[in-house]
Every structure is written in structure tokens, then in C-alpha cells.
Amino acid sequence: MLEVPDSQALTGAALAHIEADEFMPDEERGHAEAAVREDESEALAYLVDPTDLVAEIPGVELAQASWSSEPVEYDPESMEWDIDEEDGDFDEQPDNA
């Protein structure tokens, strides 16, 4: 999970990254800038390179990467957000006392 408390800073950083990319064609640059202004997940995608996330892990080679994101309301008190549990798996251990 990732929280974006300052979407303007995220968008600004992504736009600066796009502007600094000397190899990006102008047509693609315009499309990228529009996408980043419209959607925070697009801004994040221009700043995070999946290859960089695994490049230093021995024995791992990235073959393909994709991701998706969606806005959600985060409630840290909700069982839905309990990071100690597996997705939907709330089996309790039996009490052997």
C-alpha cells in the first residue's frame, strides 16, 4: 500500500522526470504529461522503474512487469487492513491450554 499525501508534489516530480527524458519523442512526451496530470497512478508509474526494484536481488531477472492502482479509503482500525493476516484468511489458531 502506498499513501500519497501530496499529489501535487508527485505530479510535479513526474512532469520533471518526463521533461528531463532526452530520449522521449515529443508526441509521446505530450501524451505522458497529459496522463500524469490526469492520474496519480500514471505519475507514480513514470517515477518507479520495476527493473530497479529487483535489479540487486541475486538469482532474479525481471521478464515482464505490470501494475495497477486504485484509490481507496484507508482505515487502520479495519480488519480489512490487518497486514499480519493473509488476504481473507482469518483462521484462528486453536487454544491448546
Question: Dihedral sign, CA of 67, 68, 73, 78?
Answer: negative
Q: What pTM value is reported for the model?
A: 0.66
Contact between 63 and 35 (Cβ < 8 Å): no
Q: Residue 67: what pLDDT?
A: 73
47-97 pLDDT, tens digit per residue, is 988 888 898 999 998 888 877 777 778 777 887 777 665 555 545 555 555
Q: Given pLDDT bands bounded at 50, 70 and 90, which one contains residue 9?
A: very high
DSSP code at position 86:
B
Phi and psi torsions of 82, nearest 5°:
-75, 105
pLDDT of residue 32: 96
Q: Collapsing DSSP states into helix, strand and coil, what is residue 89? A: strand
Helices (H) and strands (E) in the chain, counts: 4, 0
Cross-strand partners of 89: 86
Q: What whole-number distance in Å separates Cα of residue 41 and Cα of residue 68?
A: 8
Measured distance CA(53)–CA(37) in Å, rounded: 25
- pLDDT value at position 24? 95
SS3 37: helix
pLDDT digits (tens, 9 = 90+) for 13-58: 999 999 999 999 999 999 999 999 999 989 998 998 888 889 899 9
